[in-house]
Structure 1
């Protein structure tokens, strides 16, 4: 194999594939990136951790086609430190790969192509397209609520499913929860998604997809079965195993009878919560909200750090109520609000609170209260 490639192109592509590779691997080949040089002037880079696989195709001057695998992190670090604007020669022979650029030469050990595992996709029966921006919205508004608790593995991802909504018709819903908060986004069901199985997309796949979406516009092709999902974005293809588990019926925790409505400026509310939470203990991060006509009094009491309080104006006409929340969870939700007003639908100090920008907005959040 012998090919020359622009340093910037190589670095960008290696940045995508090497982040899939785990730093510690018991199987040496999983530390490597597969490099396939084709006679048509393209190079295919592939990396996998056996659950997730990314393939990217880039343009190059290919002198001799061939295939080899080499350490993904090592090649990425070398490309990162080479001079900007330089050309990089990749040449493989006799279990070594020469990386040459200007006066720099590196001889790296390689492993044979035949040992490199590829995720078998099988039949991906459901195929549809989503605008890249829609996928960005879905991920950004739900990923913060994904659970990191490994024992409840079925919550370690975003749940995608189709439904028939009474008011909106056929929809695609994305939901994530860690048991303390829930985030859900609803978008119109894309053509081809009807009859798709309910799937849970793992957290790592979500993170890698989000990185690829930063450099993608237009549509993303989504293909899935009950066990695998594939995202095709221009030159990159991301394939992942899905979480084999049953996502809980989250609709049961979305309150429908919360009749106390607080409307408030999300920016002022967020800044107030952030300020008083400065003295909250790391363990509980509890902030108390006393909601009354025309105002919300935020307060924190910490045995170690003292007390703090702040008043924030708000639109509220129901009976006064006191309720406590984890400040970090509340701030995570408020960070997703883009409009000038956020609605908090309250019931009592022990009931979950519904948070949204309005009933026309595709995103909805539920936050469990804390005793304070």
Structure 2
């Protein structure tokens, strides 16, 4: 295998694929990237056995076709530190010989591992196929991933549940995530071809890698899936992932239906006030108390060691017409949800101990549920 390529072109592709490689693993080949030089260009592949990223690299001049594997992190760091305008030559004569990387007067030799040891997880039938706009997919991820659970024992909550659902008499594509303390549910128009898709749980790591790749895409992203695997095609990049083998809980049962006490508050003023009041305590789990009365909101927090803080909001910032109410929420959870809202936050309460619905007045397709804390 022998080819030449601009440093910037190879660096961009390596950045995409090497990020899925686990730095610490017990299988040496999984630390490597597979390089395949052939007529038509170069293909890079990296995997951790749960996710695989494959990218076809443009602008490569192949002098000798062939395949090898090289340490992904090391190759990426070497290419990253070379001059921006460098022209790179990568040469591997075959067998157990080292791969040479040359750029001007720079010369490095990298150990390789047999191509035969490199696992493939991109095979298999994916019968359900549809396309979704890149901006739409980014929105679904951004509006839900903050609520993904990190508790490994509840593995079925360690991802975003994506499925076709009924909403208002029509079919929608719905994304849901929950960690038991808060729930995020967002929906978009159902893409053509997604009507018969199974409900799938896309793992947290896959979600984060997909979000990074989707940042560079402006047109549609092709999606193909089965009951066990999903593939996203983003231009020259393919991300294939195993799905979480578990049953997502019946989330509709935890969404309250009778919350009739409505508080509307300007997002910017509310978020800034929460941040200031919560600053009295260094404990991430300490609650912020909301004391609500007619068109008036008092936020407060206290720490036995540090003191207490409070801030009032009223006037044009707050709208509330129901009876007095006191309720507490963890500050970080409040901020995670209000970060998704553009201008006006709408809280729908039942009482001070029941789950609260949080919504964006301008975005009815997004809904959040937040569990209160004792204050």
The two structures have a TM-score, normalised by structure 2, of 0.97
In structure 1, what is the equivalent of residue 193 of structure 2? 192
Question: How many angstroms apart in 1 are the aligned matches of 2:336 and 2:286?
Answer: 13
1:218 equivalent in alignment to 2:222: no
CA deviation profile, 1:209-263 (whole Å, cap 9, x unmatched): 0010011110000000010000001000000000000000111111111000001
In structure 1, what is the equivalent of residue 29 of structure 2? 29
Contact persistence 1:259–1:346 (CA under 8 A): yes
CA deviation profile, 1:334-368 (whole Å, cap 9, x unmatched): 01112x21110011111111011137532111100
Contact persistence 2:280–2:301 (CA under 8 A): yes
Contact persistence 1:3–1:90 (CA under 8 A): yes
CA deviation profile, 1:127-179 (whole Å, cap 9, x unmatched): 00000000000000000000000000000000011112234x11110000000
After TM superposition, the structure 1 = structure 2 runs for residues 1-372 of structure 1, keeping only pairs within 5 Å, are 1-40=1-40, 42-59=41-58, 60-93=60-93, 94-167=96-169, 169-282=170-283, 284-313=285-314, 314-338=318-342, 340-358=343-361, 360-372=363-375
Question: How many angstroms apart in 1 are the aligned matches of 2:350 and 2:97?
Answer: 68
Question: How many angstroms apart in 1 are the aligned matches of 2:220 and 2:295?
Answer: 45
Question: How many angstroms apart in 1 are the aligned matches of 2:360 and 2:29?
Answer: 48
Secondary structure at the aligned position of 2:99 is classed as: strand
Contact persistence 1:2–1:64 (CA under 8 A): yes
Give structure 1 stretches of 5+ with no counterpart: none
Contact persistence 1:280–1:286 (CA under 8 A): no
The two structures have a TM-score, normalised by structure 1, of 0.97
Question: How many angstroms apart in 1 are the aligned matches of 2:365 and 2:97?
Answer: 54
Secondary structure at the aligned position of 2:364 is classed as: coil
Question: How many angstroms apart in 2 are the aligned matches of 1:186 and 1:361?
Answer: 9
Contact persistence 1:95–1:111 (CA under 8 A): no
Secondary structure at the aligned position of 1:111 is classed as: coil
Superposition deviation, residue 117 in structure 1 = 0.1
Aligned residues: 369
Question: How many angstroms apart in 1 are the aligned matches of 2:150 and 2:100?
Answer: 41
CA deviation profile, 1:1-25 (whole Å, cap 9, x unmatched): 1101111111111111111000101
Question: How many angstroms apart in 2 are the aligned matches of 1:312 and 1:11?
Answer: 50
Give structure 2 stretches of 5+ with no counterpart: none
Question: How many angstroms apart in 2 are the aligned matches of 1:10 and 1:293?
Answer: 61
CA deviation profile, 1:73-105 (whole Å, cap 9, x unmatched): 000000110001111111112521101111111
Task: Please identify, of 280-289 and 24-33, the stretch whose mean Cα deviation from structure 2 is larger.
Answer: 280-289
Secondary structure at the aligned position of 1:362 is classed as: strand
Question: How many angstroms apart in 2 are the aligned matches of 1:249 and 1:359?
Answer: 27
Root mean square deviation of aligned Cα = 1.0
